[in-house]
Structure 1
């Protein structure tokens, strides 16, 4: 099993298997944080015209996802990056990040932001390896003990897919 077997494409987030993936992401978050520390965008929000949502599939099975939310022509937020337990350790998270960064760059974004939880240690490690650094709250977020805010300039060296 290798990450290369995954196809990553823009899809609607309301397909039943993708909804199940989002529910798994919510469960993962709620195992680590109280409800007031869960900031995941719901399916209706992910269908918003200011969001590009991607799904990673292996043999047709949805095993990962992520989204870009556009703030303006130069800035965007990465959201809902998640890899199912069955697909962890294959480099899929990095490939989803690379796809999201490519979508953002194609649309002219220069700066990306993301919010994650400090207890999502695997994700935080991946983001740091991809050049993301901690920053303060952005957009409508407020400082809280459940959030870690990160940013990266897309004019820097692009992240690796592998």
Structure 2
């Protein structure tokens, strides 16, 4: 296992080669697991808008994961969370989620929400470990059979 202290999570550009490759892998996985009408991932252009904060997790110059925060009215939404297969189990997803949560707090958002798939057991366990609880559909999401909706109330920003 890699030393988590050499992992960095920084603002990134979804058009950069490493991030773009991971986003393609994520989208391919979602297309393989879920019907088209149940895929709600953001394409690259949508990840480059002013209401999105996009992050990459890197180690030694290699992009290991991606995650984004969509700034919504009254809440933030976790989007585009994906970790390369080789980096799973090394704390990358936890580091990305912590950065997204910190960004949400810094933007004064009281709540984080997300939509994920019912076949994504590791993601569901990650979110539950970090205080997310199931909720109903929100925003423009339909009540899709394969969707799991979750939310987490945020306290004030820490020190």
Task: Give the TM-score, by structure 2 length.
Answer: 0.93
Q: Secondary structure at the match of 1:43?
A: coil
Q: Which residue matches 1:62?
A: 63
Q: Which residue matches 1:11?
A: 12
Structure 1: which 5+ runs fail to align?
none
Distance 2:13 2:145 in 1: 32
Q: Is residue 2:93 matched to residue 1:93?
A: yes
Query: Mean alpha-carbon deviation: is it higher for 5-14 or for 121-130?
Result: 5-14
Q: What is the number of equivalent residue pairs in this alignment?
A: 156
Distance 1:86 1:48 in 2: 29
Q: Which residue matches 1:134?
A: 134
Q: Which residue matches 1:148?
A: 148
Structure 2: which 5+ runs fail to align?
none
Query: Mean alpha-carbon deviation: is it higher for 112-121 or for 30-39?
Result: 30-39
CA shift digits 1:4-54 (9 cap, x unpaired):
222100111111221111001112212211222211100000001000000
Distance 1:94 1:57 in 2: 13
Distance 1:78 1:147 in 2: 14
How do 1:14-93 residues align onto structure 2 when only pairs under 5 Å count?
14-72=15-73, 74-93=74-93
Distance 1:4 1:32 in 2: 33
Q: Secondary structure at the match of 2:143?
A: coil
Q: Secondary structure at the match of 2:152?
A: strand
What is the root-mean-square deviation of aligned Cα atoms in Å? 1.4
Q: Which residue matches 1:112?
A: 112
Distance 1:97 1:108 in 2: 17
